[in-house]
Amino acid sequence: MKQVDFPHSFTGSPAPATNLPELMCAFSYALDLTEGQPEGHSLRACWIAMRIADAIRIGRDERRIIFFATLLKDLGCSSNSARVAEIYLTDDRSFKHDFKLIGDGIGPALRFVLEKTGRGAGPVARISAIANILKNGPALVDEMIAARCTRGADIARMLRFPEEVALGIHALDEHWDGGGRPAGLSGQAIALPARIALLAQVADVFFCNAGPDAAREEVVRLSGKWLDPELVRAFTAISASPDFWARLAQPDLERMLAEELPDEAQLTVDEDYLDAIALAFGQVIDAKSPYTAGHSERVGTYATELGKRYGIDGADLRSLSRAAALHDVGKLGVSSTILEKPGKLDDEEWQVMRSHAGHTAAILGRIAPLREMAMIAASHHERLDGTGYPLGLDQTMLATEARIISVCDFYDALTADRPYRAAMTAERAFAIMEQEAGGAIDPHCLAMFRDVVAER
């Protein structure tokens, strides 16, 4: 097939300026998706946290910590998704969503787990999963919460937040009465940002599920158990007015939140920091499945090297690297039961799997400095012959950068283990890719990529 020289889709200008609160608010939608929460949950929790912080007269520096610790409380949540799906044999996203509604106490938790486990699985698999939970339940929960806390704190550090933000995220599941995890801390020993974030989380989950009265009742019910009674008193006072809930439900909450930290709003996130942020969120994506560990980072590295061979440089090369690192961000919205399925996907599952490309476009489209490359990133499963997804774009519409990311993604998928097959050698992967050249992937791009891999 004749090689057509497509124009780059990027404009060559640096990404639009943004500040950290704005950027993190936009990224927080991806965390809601992972956690199975209604869109905007992280934003609403953050807004509630800021109102509590104001009510108890928190100083400027600690306000900043509370803001980011609450907004990004779910940074580590993708790291236990695969385990949740494996242990409970059910969709991790709806399991996590519903689990937050059962409140405290061993009885309700056990009932919930027994009812949910193995839904849709055969009777033998279900019985064996329940037996495993009854035997090892507390240890399994310890393991999953520890993974989530540790990973969340590590990613906060990668995002260059101060240690207090990382520790706030780490202690999200600690309870005032000492019955929480991972360390069983109690009372004031739990960092204040974590205590506020947990209260804000409970309030928004119940608000979204059943309205303001349910949110207030649940918070009061958990006072002294999960939640700090003094914070509960502050929350009860400020949430008594219908205006509080009306403001929480406003569609421009994202804009309002970005103005919560006026000093921070003056500071622009520079290009190097933006690269680091893309890499950190790449880790959130890769943590979703043991099979994708390192995938986003490797595709980012391959695409950068291949892009250089195409003569792409400067701001365009940065955009390409970020698009490649974040191309699968939409997978955060796909159940791990599908991502981890060892066999063939049925039609419905395949449709959900394919939806990840559209989710990628939607998530990145919300993030001002990444908006320009949202469609490039989302096009990594498009094919030159027009039979790919999400849009069925063909060779007349696929930009060079999209072809680059497709080739790198294809290669990395073949050379990594998958639930249904072992990793292939480079030689075998290239033999398969050769068969797809011209139909799925760009032959010229593939030839150049061979050189990249050979040099590595």
Residues of this chain that bind Fe ion (CB under 5 A): 328, 409
Query: From the CB of 409, what's the least distance to Fe ion, in Å?
Result: 4
Of 181 and 359, the one with the shorter C-beta distance to Fe ion is 359
At residue 195, what is the residue type? Answer: R
Please, what's the b/e burial string for 170-202 (b: 16 or more CB within 10 A of its CB; e: otherwise)?
A: bbbbbbbeeebbbeebeeeebbbbbbbbbbbbb
Q: What angle do CA 121, 124, 127 make, to 5 degrees?
A: 90
Q: Report yes or no: 298 and 409 within 8 Å, Cβ to Cβ.
A: no
Of 90 and 292, the one with the shorter C-beta distance to Fe ion is 292
Please, what's the b/e burial string for 400-412 (b: 16 or more CB within 10 A of its CB; e: otherwise)?
A: bbbbbbbbbbbbb
Query: From the CB of 301, what's the least distance to Fe ion, in Å?
Result: 13
Identify whether 308 is a catalytic site residue.
no
Neighbours of 203 (CB within 10 A): 26
Of 117 and 321, the one with the shorter C-beta distance to Fe ion is 321
Q: Which of 356, 345, 361 is nearest to 292 (CA)?
A: 356
Query: From the CB of 422, what's the least distance to Fe ion, in Å?
Result: 18
What's the Cα-to-Cα distance from 162 to each of 165, 261, 264, 275, 296, rounded to whole Å?
A: 6, 16, 14, 18, 25
Rg (CA), the chain: 23
Catalytic residue among 73, 96, 331, 341: 331
- How many Cα atoms within 13 Å fall on the side-chain side of residue 95? 25
Q: Report yes or no: 96 and 36 within 8 Å, Cβ to Cβ.
A: yes
Of 153 and 325, the one with the shorter C-beta distance to Fe ion is 325
Query: From the CB of 123, what's the least distance to Fe ion, in Å?
Result: 34
At residue 231, what is the residue type? Answer: L
The first and second tokens of residue 184, run together, are 């069983």
- Write the DSSP assignment of 315-327 as a string of letters: HHHHHHHHHHHTT
Of 154 and 409, the one with the shorter C-beta distance to Fe ion is 409
Query: From the CB of 365, what's the least distance to Fe ion, in Å?
Result: 16
Cα dihedral 180→223→162→48 (10° resolution): 130
CA distance 335 to 234: 37
Of 194 and 325, the one with the shorter C-beta distance to Fe ion is 325
Of 292 and 337, the one with the shorter C-beta distance to Fe ion is 292
Query: From the CB of 290, what's the least distance to Fe ion, in Å?
Result: 15
DSSP 44: H
Query: From the CB of 398, what's the least distance to Fe ion, in Å?
Result: 15
Residue the block writes with tokens 């990133």: 377
- Which residue numbers are catalytic? 331
